[in-house]
Structure 1
Amino acid sequence: MQTTDITNKRTRVVLIAILGLLTAIGPFSIDMYLPGFPAMANDLHTSINTIAYSLSSFFIGLCVGQLISGPLLDRYGRKRPLIIGLAVYIAASIGCVLVRTPEGLIALRFIQALGCCVSMVAPRAITRDVFPLEDNAKVLSLLILLLGVSPILAPTFGSYIVDVYQWQDVFIILALIAAATLAAVVFLFRESKAPDASVSLKPRPILNAFGGVLKNPQFATYAFAGGVSFAGLFAYLSGSPFLFMEYFGVSKTGYGAIFAIIAAGLIGSSQLNAFLLKKYSSEQLVTASILLQTFIGFVLLIGITTGILGLYSTIAVIFLLFCTLGISSPNTAALSILPFSKEAGSASALLGALQMGLGALAAALTGVFANNTPVPLAIIIAASGLLALGALLVGQRRVKQLPAMESITETISEQAEEEACIMV
């Protein structure tokens, strides 16, 4: 099997461009269609909260897909799974354009997420395949920068499309982006890893690997605490169209601007995390940030319930809330995976699946308990902080000894922005 040769500068630039396109598909798929919720609800004769289930189904698809994407990429190489995944994504995106029922949209978004998963998992694997070790951090930094910019640009771009054109055009653009990426993969990307028939795709070995990871007290503590904490973000993604466009009466373009501001806070705080790690341990930062998240979550709940918070104060409180997530998320992610070497792939996949699964649950609950007020959203956000704090404090008692801070600072610093903003 011929593999990629990146000694040529042009080949290197082309490969990084392809990895950038692959990286952008996930954030754009999540955020770009959010401003279209009211128009979609109107056209499909349903409520915004029902349309929000399509976001939950997408998260469920990401949860399932992440568990199988890694083994597929190892078994069949990088190129073939990418081609199949992108083709599935394009077909599902076209289906979303033609859909006529909310149930159809929910189902198609699940399929779209399954296709999207490979594009989310493959870039880091390809980077490790073809670039020298000393260049890995530079390439990943470029991809992380794109991950940081995408959540800001996607809803803003989406709000413009929905305002000027139709919500279906969002999915047309997503399909075109994926089609361009597919063409680049087919014609410009040379396989970076030969297929490996020794990689098992049988359920039992895969489940045994995941079971071994779950039994580790450090993984269980920080994966569940971080996942429950981050579930508040998924609830916000699901409920924010109603909160801002319906409850506060913000325009579609105004919603895009609000989303960008809050996303910038999350991304900026994840960068601040790298500096805080020079003075504080990751354990201290996790505990402090989740404590602060819990407090701010209850400030939001009380303010929304009593009507004290207006539009701008609500934006400010949510901005601060997700600044705490920018600190806790990369630290819990790195601490979860740290105990593993050989099983790092399984640990990473399970961590992502837990995060998506808990996020899908939080997003779904936002719709289940909808009552035409933002109170259920505020309750779920506050509860996510409180439950995360409880899981952290209980779990830390089981973690007898954590590795020295020096051994994980670099890992957490490199993962900080990626872990904090990939699902914004």
Structure 2
Amino acid sequence: MKPELMKMALILGLLSCVGPFAIDMYLPAMPVMAEEYGVPTAMSQYTLVSFFIAFGICQLFYGPAADMFGRKPPLYFGLVLFLIASVGCALAPTIEWLIALRFVQGIGAASVMSIPRAIIRDRYTGTEATRLMTTVMLVISISPMLAPLVGSLLMAPFGWPAVFYGVALATVASLFLIRFALPETLSVSARTPLELSAMFDAFRVLLRDAYFMGMTLIGGVGMASFFAFLSVSSFLYTDYYGLTSTQFSLAFALNALGFFTASQFAANLCERFGGVAVVKWAVVGFALSAAVNLLLNLLGMDDFAILVGLLLLGNAFLGLVLPTTMVLSLDEHGPIAGTAASLGGTLQMMLGAAAIGIVSAVFDGTPLTLVAAIAICGVLAAVLFMLTLRRPAEPVPT
């Protein structure tokens, strides 16, 4: 990879880690928080739901703002808000306060979810964009591998509030990174006017583009499967399988290994076979691995090694699906890349929040709920792909 691409990938990857770190780092603390606050398990899971709702909805505003004011000002605003909310989470006196502050935290974190995608589209398209996106995904993939372990290490001597102080320190580092290492990629002449009508016109174009919506939703149900895992994994692994918080962190990291490894082959595979073909076969692989996991569980083969192994395989296929669908969905929308990235991110986060809410509500303490939810996501991804590719994508006027 060219040095310029590598530098940009590291910067954008580290910025994009802020949101996932705020999710993954405190997962080991969720059972402890529920116990200390004296609330049911489902109540602590609402801290995830509130974060994801804000995280998803607010991307709708950051994208157009990035098209109007440039890429860096909205990043500053979001990260400062995220920093304040992180400190507030550490000091939350009740679970209700924590849920509310997690919502505010999600508002801030939304800035570093959609804007980095637009920055990539500002500079690159096609194979180069896919290569950069997968390298960003590589950096992001380190988060679920390391964040729960870091959270466990902080929580052991200092208690669960230390997790949020750790996130706050990472946010300060991100602000310095934006100030001194990230260039502004949207020139003043390329910025859209500050008009609500222009923003709604852009949304209208995107919502009518079946190809954009299809690729976005394929990636969205893939994300939803992982968010379903996020919502119950700490309780399933520690309560049902008897893992310690450190063992849970290691098992959680193992699940991310498949995504981490496979995503690095996405650009080369797209260059050789085309992005659509890569998505096609990766979706098939994801759906089949999820179906096998559900079938084995229904047949009574409730084995931790089988569960983790098939989750790892499914995440490997998602490592091809997610970066490729992100690039394909934005290819025809360069002039409104910020708005397109924000709408795509919002739709995907809303699917993730819905998955968390549904799975948390029906979770019975066994793996069946989880593997069934992931299997449903696999089937939906396959159906969406068939509907999206019924006819070739046509350029959509922006």
Specify the TM-score bucket, using the shorter chain as the normaliser: 0.7 to 0.9
Letter of the aligned partner of 1:243 in structure 2?
Answer: L
Q: Which residue of 2 aligns with 1:258?
A: 251
In 2, distance between residues paired with 1:119 and 1:145?
16
Taking structure 1 as the reference length, the TM-score comes to 0.80
Q: Say which of 81, 88, 91 aligns to 2:74.
A: 81
In 2, distance between residues paired with 1:383 and 1:307?
19
Contact 2:294 2:372 in 1 (8 A): yes
Letter of the aligned partner of 1:96 in structure 2?
Answer: C
> CA 1:36–1:314 in structure 2 vs 1: closer, same or farther (change >3 Å)?
same
Shift of 1:127: 7.7
Q: Which residue of 2 aligns with 1:22?
A: 15
Shift of 1:258: 1.0
Farther off after superposition, 279-288 or 103-112: 279-288
Q: Which residue of 2 aligns with 1:394?
A: 387
Shift of 1:256: 0.9
> CA 1:227–1:105 in structure 2 vs 1: closer, same or farther (change >3 Å)?
same
What are the superposed Cα offsets for residues 96-150 of structure 1, whole Å, 9 maximum, x if unpaired? 112233332222112101112223445566688899xxx9999888755532323
2:280 corresponds to 1:290: no
Contact 1:228 1:355 in 2 (8 A): yes
Letter of the aligned partner of 1:85 in structure 2?
Answer: G
Contact 1:163 1:252 in 2 (8 A): no
Identity of aligned residues (%): 34
Unaligned 5+ segments in structure 1 are: 1-12, 404-424
Q: Say which of 36, 45, 48 aligns to 2:29.
A: 36
2:311 corresponds to 1:331: no
What are the superposed Cα offsets for residues 193-232 of structure 1, whole Å, 9 maximum, x if unpaired? 6778974455443222112112112112222222123311
In 2, distance between residues paired with 1:332 and 1:392?
11
What are the superposed Cα offsets for residues 54-87 of structure 1, whole Å, 9 maximum, x if unpaired? 2222222221222111222343445543333222
Contact 2:56 2:346 in 1 (8 A): yes
2:225 corresponds to 1:245: no
What are the superposed Cα offsets for residues 137-166 of structure 1, whole Å, 9 maximum, x if unpaired? 998887555323233221121122223331
In 2, distance between residues paired with 1:384 and 1:128?
28
> CA 1:272–1:378 in structure 2 vs 1: closer, same or farther (change >3 Å)?
same
Q: Which residue of 1 aligns with 2:294?
A: 301
* Secondary structure in 1 matching 2:334: coil
> CA 1:302–1:164 in structure 2 vs 1: closer, same or farther (change >3 Å)?
farther
In 1, distance between residues paired with 2:274 and 2:169?
44
In 2, distance between residues paired with 1:384 and 1:125?
27
How do residues 72-111 of structure 1 correspond to structure 2 at under 5 angstroms?
72-111=65-104
2:147 corresponds to 1:154: yes
In 1, distance between residues paired with 2:132 and 2:206?
29
Q: Which residue of 1 aligns with 2:3?
A: none
What are the superposed Cα offsets for residues 325-352 of structure 1, whole Å, 9 maximum, x if unpaired? 1122222222222233323332222211
In 2, distance between residues paired with 1:241 and 1:223?
28
* Secondary structure in 2 matching 1:372: coil
**How big is the alpha-carbon RMSD for the aligned residues of Structure 1 and Structure 2?**
3.3
In 2, distance between residues paired with 1:396 and 1:343?
23
In 1, distance between residues paired with 2:332 and 2:120?
23
Letter of the aligned partner of 1:229 in structure 2?
Answer: G
In 1, distance between residues paired with 2:208 and 2:350?
19
Q: Say which of 357, 360, 365 aligns to 1:367.
A: 360
> CA 1:349–1:127 in structure 2 vs 1: closer, same or farther (change >3 Å)?
closer
In 1, distance between residues paired with 2:315 and 2:136?
22
Letter of the aligned partner of 2:245 in structure 1?
Answer: K
Letter of the aligned partner of 2:17 in structure 1?
Answer: A
* Secondary structure in 2 matching 1:308: coil
In 2, distance between residues paired with 1:333 and 1:125?
11
Q: Say which of 222, 225, 233 aligns to 1:229.
A: 222
Unaligned 5+ segments in structure 2 are: 1-5
Contact 1:96 1:168 in 2 (8 A): yes
In 1, distance between residues paired with 2:189 and 2:98?
36
Shift of 1:241: 0.9
> CA 1:129–1:211 in structure 2 vs 1: closer, same or farther (change >3 Å)?
closer
Farther off after superposition, 19-28 or 215-224: 19-28
Letter of the aligned partner of 1:301 in structure 2?
Answer: L
Shift of 1:39: 0.5
How do residues 45-64 of structure 1 correspond to structure 2 at under 5 angstroms?
45-64=38-57
Letter of the aligned partner of 2:108 in structure 1?
Answer: G
Taking structure 2 as the reference length, the TM-score comes to 0.85
Q: Which residue of 1 aligns with 2:171?
A: 178
In 1, distance between residues paired with 2:394 and 2:205?
18
In 1, distance between residues paired with 2:59 and 2:280?
28
> CA 1:218–1:56 in structure 2 vs 1: closer, same or farther (change >3 Å)?
same
In 2, distance between residues paired with 1:56 and 1:375?
21
In 2, distance between residues paired with 1:137 and 1:333?
9
In 2, distance between residues paired with 1:215 and 1:264?
36
Contact 2:228 2:374 in 1 (8 A): yes
